[in-house]
Structures are given as structure tokens and as C-alpha cells.
Amino acid sequence: MKYRTIGTDPRTRREVSVLSLGAMLFGSTTDERTSFALLDHYVEEGGTFIDTSDNYAFWTDGGQGGQSEELLGRWRRSRGVGDEIVIATKLGARPLAPGTGYVDNPEGLSAKVIREAAERSRERLGTDRLDVLYAHIEDRTVPLRETVEGFAELVAERTVGLLGVSNHATWRVERARALAAAAGLPGYEVLQYQHSLLRPRTDVPSPLFQEGSLGHAGAELFSYLREEPGLTLVAYSPLLQGAYSNPDKRVPDDYDHPGTPARLAVLRDIAGETGASVNQVVLAWQIGGRRPVIPLVGASSLPQLKESLAAVDLELTEDQHARLNAAS
């Protein structure tokens, strides 16, 4: 395994594995026995960075979520897991009532919600401190200053370590970080967005966000990251939920444009050159790029997880990186 540091403050920064394990469906679609086996193997192979959210997986039973955090809490207690494993969770997108969703009825990002939701997450995870806490989705009904101060209070109380943000417009991230800096408060340091080798269209409306591109790491976000080297990008859905390798999975509709076949062709060529799978090439491209990204992978079986873990040791050449970057 390889590792990198997230965060800049010596009091809160952490060293984490360059491949993060997503626990979204653990405890719901993925049963407890399988979930425990996946978590155990990930840790045995040196993995230290696990991702969840307080609303996972509300859509599986029409509830409000919490199954993933609860399972991770049971796993932590049964294995005696301590501070050596960094668990990141999110708040803001938990449905306020069963049978609703985070598009039409989210909990939001008020100071009251931040405090209460974080406390519930700590209880479910069985920990006194959340290693990384993300603002999951935007809440434009609450003053940004209130959100910034609400998160900062938890850091000051040492019940939260690093702060993160997901699925926000880049200007909102910068405005929140500027407010925090001006007030001498901790700000967002870990950014989680959807990012993969294929490039999505930005003109396709998204049912999940106010604007179609908010969930994707696009050119504007990467421009921002180049100017802020202390920030870390965590990429969710790097393998497009199996669309690269599973013939039964379609590439999502927002990737349906002329550039996609060209990038897929180069990807397959490089997989053939390296003897690796196309999934492993995608992950190695993210991990080993000039602006490193931490891929966040899901798995429902040990073979899937082992395939992803093997990508950590795949070293692409500069020429291979350049060809993947240039294909369009």
C-alpha cells in the first residue's frame, strides 16, 4: 500500500492510503458477513481510509439511512479498531422523513443540524471523534457563514478532525473557505466529487443537484485545485459502477458524446500494454497523476476489492499518462 497526507494543520492532518474504500452499501445491500470480510481484507492489505455517510443507504428500504455507519460501528468494536483507521462520513443529505429523499427533503446544513447529525454519526460509528466530516450537498437556504461556523465549532471541541465538502459549486467552496480563513476558523480541506477517466457532458441536467455539473470534478475545480495544493480530491464512482468492464452495465447517459469512444480505445490499448485490467488502469491513472487523486472504490465481493487494490502497484509511464490525458 502507498500513503499520502490529507490536511495541512499538524493537529488534524492524517496519513491515509491512496485508495479509499466506500462503505455505502455495507449493512444494506451488502450483508454484514460480506461487509466484514471486505473491511478485514482492505485493512490487511494496508488500507486505512474508509468512506460513508449518515444517509447511506436510505433508498434501499425507504428509510433515512444510517445502516452503513451502524455496520462500521459494529465492525470497529468487534475488531478493536482505533485511530489507525480513518473513517470519513458526511451530513446534510439525510432525508428528514422516511419515504422522502435528499433532493426534495434533505436535513440541510444549519448549525443545529450539523451538531445533531454529527453527534448521531459518532454514536453509530462508536467513536468520540469523526476523522473527516463532509458537507454532503449544498444548502443555499442557510447563510454560508452559519454552516462554516457550525463545522468549525465541532473542530474546536475536538469531536471532528478534518473538514470536507462534496458536490458543491467551486465558487461556494472558495467562498466558504474564505469566510473561514478571515475568521481564523478551520475550513474545508478534503473535496469529494465524481471523477473518472471518461469526461461527462456538462450540459445534461442532473436530477440530483441544482446544476448538472455540481457533482463532477470538472475543469474549473481542477483549476482551483492547482492553485490550492493543500487540498485533497477524493474521487467517487471512479469506475462508473462497473461500466468500464461489465458488459451488462451501460456508460451513463451524460458520457454519451464523441469523445468517449476515443478515450475508451486508448484505455483498452494501455490495459493491453500493461497486462492490467481497464479498471486498474483507470485507478492507476488517478493515483499516479501529476495532481494525485484518491479514488474511492466500492466493492461487493473480494475479487472486486482485490482487483482495485492491485491498481496501487501499477505504475503507468509518462507516455501512457499523456495518452490517456490527451485522448478525446
4 and 294 Cβ atoms separated by less than 8 Å: yes
User: Can you read off the three cell numbers belonging to residue 296?
Assistant: 474511492
* Residues in CB range of 87: below 8 A, 6 or more apart: 50, 51, 52, 72, 76, 125, 127, 130, 131, 132
User: Can you read off the three cell numbers belonging to residue 123?
Assistant: 454514536
Amino acid 129 reads: R
DSSP 207-239: SSSSSTTTTB--HHHHHHHHH-TT-EEEEESTT
Buried b (16+ CB within 10 A) or exposed e, 137-166: bbbeebebbebbbbbbbbbeeebbbbbbbb
Tell me which residue of 131, 271, 276 sits closest to 190, measured CA to CA.
131
User: Can you read off the three cell numbers belonging to residue 327?
Assistant: 485522448
Amino acid 283 reads: L
Please report which residue ranges of 199-247 form alpha helices under DSSP H. Answer: 219-227
**Length, in residues, of the chain:** 328
Is 255 catalytic? The answer is: no
User: Can you read off the three cell numbers belonging to residue 54?
Assistant: 449518515
42 and 305 Cβ atoms separated by less than 8 Å: yes
- Cβ count within 10 A of residue 114: 26
Catalytic residue among 3, 42, 56, 255, which? Answer: 56
Q: Which residues are catalytic?
A: 56
